């Protein structure tokens, strides 16, 4: 399988604070990858670079052979940690907005998912609960037939019952052959669906391995995470 994301010697600093330090790795097409690391490890900066939100970095980043930009953005479906919907948008408006810009957006599927998620079509996003807003944003992302899905903490801030629902919606709606990268702290919840993991700590790549290899060593991803980030990492 070819590598759909290639990163070589990626370094990103904010002033004197280096958040990514000479990171290099590649991601194979079609896999579900967990991007794991404690708070402040550089996960969100890495995601922002991959999605074209941050462009001043050193090193080489290729997304399906292109530097992050208008072309790569057309094949990447991104779910940020934050709510990005405009105050004036209703659920219908948000769907139409996304459908306008992305040729791969499935409008009918989105309308059906709104009903499945029991979200009101005409209610403004700003008056929705946080959970409703997150579900709406998930619909906007998962109704695209994208090559790459990048989800930043997709289950952060929702209750355990909703987590299962969200995760199953992600897996069910992901097109076959697409690549899915998820950053999360809730490793236990997602490790059953992961093909491989990347662990980042203090801006450095600490580990990249397949879940099958980790399991073969007699550990779960959750146990491995605790092992890697124990002790000094918590200080």
Residues that bind other proteins (CB under 8 A): 14-15, 48, 51-56, 69-71, 73-74, 76, 78, 80, 82-86, 88, 97, 100-102
Q: Are 155 and 184 in contact (CB under 8 A)?
A: yes
Q: Are 1 and 26 in contact (CB under 8 A)?
A: no
Output 101 or 232, the one with its CB closest to other proteins. 101
In terms of Cα–Cα distance, which of 149, 152, 171 is closest to 64? 149
Q: What backbone torsions phi and psi does residue 72 show, to the nearest 5 degrees? A: -65, -35
Alpha-carbon distance of 213 to 61, in angstroms, equals: 27
Supply the minimum distance, in Å, between the C-beta of residue 99 and other proteins. 10
Alpha-carbon distance of 93 to 86, in angstroms, equals: 10
Alpha-carbon distance of 102 to 174, in angstroms, equals: 16
Output 124 or 202, the one with its CB closest to other proteins. 124
Output 183 or 196, the one with its CB closest to other proteins. 183
Supply the minimum distance, in Å, between the C-beta of residue 167 and other proteins. 22
67: which 2 tokens? 């530097």
35: which 2 tokens? 């991007």
Supply the minimum distance, in Å, between the C-beta of residue 43 and other proteins. 15
Give strand pairing partners of 150: 78, 181
Output 36 or 77, the one with its CB closest to other proteins. 77
Supply the minimum distance, in Å, between the C-beta of residue 76 and other proteins. 8
Supply the minimum distance, in Å, between the C-beta of residue 171 and other proteins. 22
Q: Are 168 and 155 in contact (CB under 8 A)?
A: no
CA distances from 135 to 44, 108, 116, 117 (A): 20, 17, 11, 7
Output 9 or 55, the one with its CB closest to other proteins. 55
Supply the minimum distance, in Å, between the C-beta of residue 54 and other proteins. 6
Output 89 or 162, the one with its CB closest to other proteins. 89
């Amino acid at each position: 399988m070819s590598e759909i994301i290639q990163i070589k010697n990626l370094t990103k600093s904010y002033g004197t604070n280096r958040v990514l330090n000479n990171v290099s790795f590649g991601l194979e097409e079609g896999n579900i990858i967990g991007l794991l690391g404690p708070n402040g490890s550089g996960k969100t900066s890495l995601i922002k670079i991959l999605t074209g939100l941050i462009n001043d970095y050193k090193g080489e980043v290729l997304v399906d052979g292109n530097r992050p930009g208008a072309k790569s953005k057309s094949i990447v479906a991104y779910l940020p940690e934050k709510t990005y919907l405009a105050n004036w948008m209703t659920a219908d408006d948000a769907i139409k907005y996304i459908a306008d810009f992305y040729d791969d957006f499935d409008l009918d599927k989105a309308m059906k998912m709104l009903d499945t998620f029991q979200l009101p079509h005409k209610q403004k996003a700003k008056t929705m609960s946080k959970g409703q807003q997150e579900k709406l944003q998930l619909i906007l992302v998962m109704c695209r037939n994208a090559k790459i899905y990048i989800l930043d903490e997709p289950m952060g801030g929702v209750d355990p019952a909703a987590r299962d629902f969200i995760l199953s919606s992600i897996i069910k709606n992901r097109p076959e052959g697409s690549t899915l990268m998820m950053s999360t702290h809730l490793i236990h919840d997602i490790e059953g669906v992961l093909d491989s993991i990347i662990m980042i700590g203090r801006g450095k790549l600490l580990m990249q391995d397949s879940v099958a290899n980790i399991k073969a060593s007699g550990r779960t991803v959750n146990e491995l995470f605790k092992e890697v980030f124990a002790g000094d990492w918590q200080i």
